[in-house]
Structure 1
Amino acid sequence: MTHPSPVPTLSARPGPADVFQGLGLIFRAWSLIFRTPPLLRLSALCAAVTLVALGGLFVLLWIYAPELLGWLWTRPEEWYSRALWYLVLVLMFLVLLVVGANVVLPVVLAPLQDPLSELTEEQCGGYTPPPFQLGSFLQGLATSVGHTLARVFFLLVGLAVLFPLNLVPVVGNTAWTVLGSLWTMLWLAGEHLAAPMTRHQYPFAEVRRVLRQRWLLCLGFGAGVYILLWVPILNSFFLPVAVVGGTLLYRGLLAAGNVPPPPSSGPAGK
């Protein structure tokens, strides 16, 4: 049975519907993974590692998040103030869990991200993965890890800029949580769009340009990845879905003319 091309049909010009198109990439990525055995096998391996890493991160935050909030805002004695304190604790716990997942998982799973992205692009058509060569693999792995660390640093810098909001009593913690979540969503889109674009040798300036011009589309996709992290069991597939969805986003933007043809040569540039 043949399936239609997984490449999303995106409008060439930004608009309000971009948010829903970006969110829809999550479902498109799920569908592609489960009907493509090689993608499913690689995603299952990623899921196993993710499950262990998320479990460890959850335990650490469960232990230390109250201490961190207590350092910023001493737990009140009055019941109504204490209820608000616990609400802020829950929000902070959720944000830190998402941030922690996006710091630890991309680094741990960096060796598997490019193979996932290449398999996805092969399913999109017009692309043939280059033959395996140990030297090229090691060079690509080092580049992937280096770029991942750089992008994680970019995420942390943004959150650090927002962090002083926590010094504003009560509303500051909530503002940091909301703005930090939005920043993380947009960063998620940039992180997983940058992966296939880096593989095709686009400069990061091109990724930033796309994020600026199609920010609603990217925000919708990033929000979908962010929400996926909170769905039990399915969240173990968080990174594979994000990698596949980011690659589909790249191919959709390429087909819509929002991204120029890749500067890379050979099979990667087809």
Structure 2
Amino acid sequence: MIRDFFAGIGLLLRGFGIVFRTPRLLLLGALPAVVTGGLLLALVITLGIFAPDLVALATPFADGWDATYREIFRDLAAVALVIALLFLGLLVFAAATLAIGAPFYESIARRVEDQLGGVPTENDTSWWTDTVDNAKVVGASALLAVPLFLIDLVPVVGETAGPVIGVCVSAWMFGLELSVVPFSRRGLPLAARRHLLGRRRALAFGFALPAYLLCLVPLLAIVVMPAATAGGTLLAHRLLEEQASAPVSLPRPDSEKPFLP
């Protein structure tokens, strides 16, 4: 398990090596992250400006409170609103970046996989299918955010276990999102990705966990996203090769189950 975890880290490092050796791929993959990061920043700043007014409109019951307590309450609520948007933005950052930059990241993934031998019989892929698959992952993340928030409220335990569990869940979802292209090129649905990544969970976490944590650093995400796309392609290609050498039954598109991580 530990060996697999470090092998996953190695796949991410190989992804960095690929994009740094090919500056065009680095620039190609950085553009969507810049656009998504800029949109997220603009939303947070806009909400930060209008949050006090929005909170005041949403809390008319506090109008009759003492001015000091009313202002403290509404200031805290405004801060909580901005933090909530920022948290949600980070939660969907990868999916939004992948959706906006789908043609760019697909180009990176295709180039990496073609260097590894390509796909003998390629299935027709569409931006819409891949986006819907990743939307299911985001939907699952949103649903799981509720119990994770409740865990955070548990005294002592929640302060430590909550963030750790939250990061692990988000990293797992990130790995699912980044491995989409090699699976879709073979006509395999999201369920097949879950299945194969689940068989080599330590390997998948070794890749996805550091990639996700690095993407939490706003400016660093610009470089990490193209490298993580290349690394996710390497991960998927490795899992698919293992599947080819030791076949097991994989879910087909008609057996897809929505909103399951």
Could you tell me the TM-score, scaled by structure 2's length? 0.68
Tell whether 2:207 aligns with 1:221: yes
Larger Rg: 2
Using the TM superposition, give the Cα deviation of residue 38 of structure 1 relative to its aligned residue in structure 2, in angstroms.
4.4
Measure the CA separation in 2 of the matches of 1:167 and 1:230: 23
- Cα distance per residue 1:175-195 (max 9 Å; x no partner): 322211111111211221234
CA-to-partner distance for each residue in 1:191-225, whole Å, 9 max, x for gaps? 21234212321133322222221111111111121
Q: In structure 2, how many angstroms separate the alpha carbons of the residues matched to 1:236 and 1:62?
A: 24
The aligned residue for residue 10 of structure 1 is: none
Whole-angstrom distance in 2 between the partners of 1:206 and 1:198: 10
1:120 alignment counterpart: 112
Query: Which residue number corresponds to residue 106 of structure 1?
Result: 98
**The 10-residue stretch of structure 1 (154-163 or 15-24) with the greater mean CA deviation from structure 2:** 154-163
Q: Residue 36 of structure 2 contacts residue 97 of structure 2 at CA under 8 Å; is this kept in 1?
A: yes
Q: Distance in 2 between matches of 1:220 and 1:27?
A: 11
Residue 173 of structure 2 aligns with an amino acid whose one-letter code is W
Unaligned runs of 5+ in 1: 1-14, 68-90, 131-135, 265-270
Change (3 A) 1:36 1:163: same
Contact 1:46 1:237 in 2 (8 A): no
Which digits, 9 at most, give the CA deviation of each residue in 1:21-64, with x for residues without a partner? 11122211111112235423422423432442453466479787
Partner of 1:246: 232
2:187 matched to which residue of 1? 201
1:211 aligned to 2:197? yes
RMSD: 3.7
Q: Does 1:234 align with 2:220?
A: yes
Aligned twin of 1:16: 2
In structure 2, the CA distance between the partners of 1:103 and 1:43, relative to structure 1 (3 Å rule), is closer
**Structure-1-length-normalised TM-score:** 0.66
Distance in 2 between residues matched to 1:169 and 1:102, nearest whole Å: 31
Tell me the residue number matched to 1:165: 151
1:93 CA displacement: 9.3
- Which of 153, 159, 166 in structure 1 is aligned with 2:139? 153
The answer to whether the aligner puts 1:52 opposite 2:38 as a matched pair is: yes
**Partners in 2 of 1:57 and 1:210 — Cα distance?**
37
Higher mean Cα deviation, 188-197 or 48-57?
48-57
Per the alignment, do residues 58 and 17 of structure 1 end up closer, same or farther by CA in structure 2, a change over 3 Å counting?
farther
User: Going by fraction, where is helix more abundant, 1 or 2?
Assistant: 2
The SS at the match of 1:201 is coil
Q: Does 1:25 align with 2:7?
A: no
Q: Distance in 2 between matches of 1:177 and 1:188?
A: 16
